[in-house]
């Protein structure tokens, strides 16, 4: 039997990168997957097609997780399509590295609204759809939450906040059979890191040189751990921060 057979999962920010990989791995393990995307409909549809072409079940739902109305619609569409929810992956996020002198109220609030508020809004709605068997929440954080890098003060702060939410809610959910954990990726090759010019840069070379496993991560490296946390293989794990960074951000 597949590890996520007949489970229903929402993956936010799943049109590409880590989110897309998680969605595909979930579907391969039997989950029915809701692909949330903010603007990349073409990419989201490609993820859905990849899943359905391989015999899986998936739908795409547009929505900016920082907007209440969009989050409500995301969960309404999930309920209409599948009736309930078992797994929520808060993967939608943005990052902006800039010197402290350049941080503006706009860039500050945009990062916190998507990375932190968006996750809270999604968690609130997920609680309404989790059934009698409880539920499972996975927050995609970052190794930068434990090891902030220069010019990344605001981004790192958002991920530290997300980890604090994970730990606090694991205690708040006591007795409700709801598990919640954070995954802290290291340097991962995605469309975003390529577009930003990081992949192939001197900065990447330096970080890989200090990574014990000696390479940049791939989205599949994160997705496999997400499957583990979403499945019964991790039934006694909650409130944890799990670093998946090739050893770069060992706790």
- Candidate from 47-61, 164-178, 190-204 with smallest mean pLDDT: 190-204
Q: What's the pLDDT score for residue 112?
A: 98
- Cβ pair 51, 21 in contact under 8 A: no
Q: What's the pLDDT score for residue 250?
A: 67
Q: What's the pLDDT score for residue 8?
A: 98
Q: What's the pLDDT score for residue 197?
A: 74
Q: What's the pLDDT score for residue 141?
A: 98
Cα distance between residue 128 and residue 122, in whole Å: 10
Average pLDDT, the chain: 96
More confident residue, 249 or 132: 132
Q: What's the pLDDT score for residue 71?
A: 99
Give the percent of the chain with pLDDT over 70: 99
Q: What's the pLDDT score for residue 235?
A: 98
Question: First-to-last CA distance in the chain?
Answer: 34
Tell me the per-residue pLDDT of 32-56, one tens digit each, with 9 for 90 and over.
999 999 999 999 999 999 999 999 9
- Candidate from 14-18, 86-90, 207-211 with smallest mean pLDDT: 207-211
Q: What's the pLDDT score for residue 1?
A: 87
Active-site residue set: 155
- Cβ pair 136, 229 in contact under 8 A: yes
Cα distance between residue 24 and residue 74, in whole Å: 19
pLDDT of residue 251 exceeding 70, the answer is: no
pLDDT of residue 137 exceeding 80, the answer is: yes
CB atoms within 10 A of CB 132: 6
Q: What's the pLDDT score for residue 207?
A: 85
pLDDT of residue 196 exceeding 80, the answer is: no
Split at pLDDT 50, 70, 90, the class of 198 is confident
Give the percent of the chain with pLDDT over 90: 90
Split at pLDDT 50, 70, 90, the class of 192 is confident
Helix H, strand E, coil C: the string for the chain is CCCCCCCEEEECCCCCHHHHHHHHHHHHCCCEEEEEECCCHHHHHHHHHHHHHCCCEEEEEECCCCCHHHHHHHHHHHHHHHCCECEEEECCCCCCCCCHHHCCHHHHHHHHHHHHHHHHHHHHHHHHHEECCEEEEEEECCHHHCCCCCCCHHHHHHHHHHHHHHHHHHHHCCCCCEEEEEEEECCECCHHHHHCCCCCCHHHHHHHHCCCCCCCECHHHHHHHHHHHHCHHHCCCCCCEEEECCCCCCC
pLDDT of residue 191 exceeding 90, the answer is: no
pLDDT of residue 113 exceeding 80, the answer is: yes
- Cβ pair 16, 237 in contact under 8 A: no
pLDDT of residue 241 exceeding 90, the answer is: yes
pLDDT of residue 180 exceeding 70, the answer is: yes
């Amino acid at each position: 039997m597949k590890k996520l057979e007949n489970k229903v999962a929402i993956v936010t920010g799943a049109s590409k990168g880590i989110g897309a990989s998680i969605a595909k791995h979930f579907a391969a393990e039997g989950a029915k997957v809701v692909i949330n995307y903010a603007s990349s409909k073409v990419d989201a549809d490609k993820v859905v097609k990849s899943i359905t072409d391989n015999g899986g079940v998936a739908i795409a739902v547009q929505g900016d997780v920082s907007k209440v109305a969009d989050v409500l619609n995301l969960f309404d569409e999930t309920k209409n399509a599948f009736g309930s929810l078992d797994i929520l992956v808060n993967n939608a996020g943005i990052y902006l590295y800039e010197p402290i002198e350049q941080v503006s109220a706009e860039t500050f609030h945009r990062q916190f609204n998507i990375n932190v508020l968006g996750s809270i809004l999604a968690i609130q709605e997920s609680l309404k759809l989790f059934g009698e068997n409880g539920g499972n929440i996975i927050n995609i954080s970052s190794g930068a939450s434990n090891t902030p890098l220069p010019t990344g003060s605001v981004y790192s702060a958002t991920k530290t906040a997300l980890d604090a939410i994970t730990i606090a809610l694991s205690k708040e959910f006591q007795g409700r059979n709801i598990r919640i954990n954070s995954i802290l990726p290291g340097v991962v090759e995605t469309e975003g890191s390529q577009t930003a010019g990081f992949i192939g840069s001197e900065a990447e070379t330096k970080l890989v040189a200090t990574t014990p496993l000696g390479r940049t991560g791939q989205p599949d490296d994160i997705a496999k751990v997400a499957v583990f946390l979403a499945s019964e293989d991790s039934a006694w794990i909650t409130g944890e921060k799990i670093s998946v960074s090739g050893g770069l951000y060992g706790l």
